Amino acid sequence: MITAAADGSSLGNPGPTGWGWYIDDARWAAGGQRLGTNNIGELSAVLDLLQQTDGVAELHVLCDSQYVIKAITQWMPGWKRKGWKKADGKPVMNVELMQQLDRLMAERKAAGGVVTFEWVKGHAGHALNEAADRLANGAAAAYQRGKVPDAGPGFGGVTGPGAPSVGTAAVPSADATPAAPAPAANASAPSAPAAAPTAAPDLFDGFDFLTDTPAEAEVVRLERSLLSDEVRADPASVAALLHPEWEEIGASGRRWSRDELLAEIAPLPKPVELELLASHELGDDTLLLVWRSVGDETALRSSLWVRTGGRWRQRFHQGTREA
């Protein structure tokens, strides 16, 4: 049996996106795109892993995204029966990736192969998960800098025709940024990664989404994403948007810690819209949003967002039912 960890990362969510999977120092891969979401990164990591391990009789995949695991193992049959729509009639997000994953899983099963999934808590010291996380974050950071991440040796230990064999040192090209995976607990330091192939143009070539975007527009977009089913269905996506010291005073009067919220986060029962009332730039990297949540009930809300390392995250939130 082959055990691999797969992970995704998005700096800003949406923003520069990376993915990575890791088996050992000789078998790992990374990639991404200039603009995407955390869930796109998570799904892409599993998709590439399935593609590269075609023919493996038994594959065990470790993920810290319950969204990915449940989508593949529980939700897909229902989505397919409904024409790739969710129970509420809305189209399934990232449907092209979902359909590719569905096809690969069906082909693997038809060939007698077995793929199992296991949820692991992210950032909890699990060696394989930590390595995949570093690959994904490194790939996203590379795209943020306008570079191409190192694609890695892949499952076969080569990156393409002419690539050196495993254990042969290679110098990455000038435009490549190594993703630097963390070695497994019982593994020695990895050999230098092979040079990454030149990336083909993608949909977002020529679109500089890291500049000329007002802070208010970026933060409002991130705030709205916290109301979406796609993000709320995946605690890892929510965690990526919350500051490590985040807290909330809810409309009910309850004080929430970050860990408490992540343990209970789920899609909202009914859609809620964000009506922006005001925004206040308290500093170059600090922005306060004042807004109204509009649904079955309305509430006045304030959210404090801070930017560190070029990444906006919510630091504090408070809600008050509107009279």
CA dist list (Å): 281 to 226, 242, 246, 290: 21, 19, 19, 12
Q: Dihedral through CA 126, CA 143, CA 45, CA 259, nearest 10?
A: 40
Of these residues, 15, 36, 41, 42, which one is catalytic? 42
Give the tokens for residue 132: 């995949």
| 158 touches 165 (CB < 8 A) | yes
- 247 counts as catalytic: no
**Active-site residue 317, yes or no?**
no
Given a contact cutoff of 8 angstroms between Cβ atoms, the answer to whether 21 and 29 are in contact is: yes
Residue 70: left if φ>0, alpha if ψ -120 to 50, beta else—which one?
Answer: alpha
> Is 8 assigned a catalytic role?
yes
Concerning whether 42 is annotated as a catalytic residue, the answer is: yes
Cα–Cα distance for residue pair 141/34, rounded to 1 Å: 10
Spatial separation of the C-alpha atoms in residues 283 and 261, rounded to whole Å: 27
Decide: 29 and 8 in contact? Cβ < 8 Å.
no
- Name the catalytic one among 58, 78, 118, 123: 123
Q: Nearest 10 degrees: CA dihedral of 66, 29, 156, 54?
A: 30
Distance, CA of 30 to CA of 310 (rounded, Å): 22
Q: CA 128, CA 52: separation in Å to the nearest integer?
A: 18
> Which one of 7, 25, 48, 218 is the catalytic residue?
7
Tokens for 263, please give them.
Answer: 């343990």
Burial class (CB in 10 A: 0-12, 13-18, 19+), 310: middle
User: Does 126 qualify as catalytic in the annotation?
Assistant: no
CA distances, 94 to each of 43, 44, 67, 91 (Å) = 9, 10, 12, 9
Which of 64, 150, 223, 234 is an active site residue? 64
> What sign does the CA torsion over 217, 304, 232, 240 have?
positive
Catalytic residue among 25, 48, 133, 234: 133
Give catalytic residue positions: 7-8, 42, 64, 123, 133
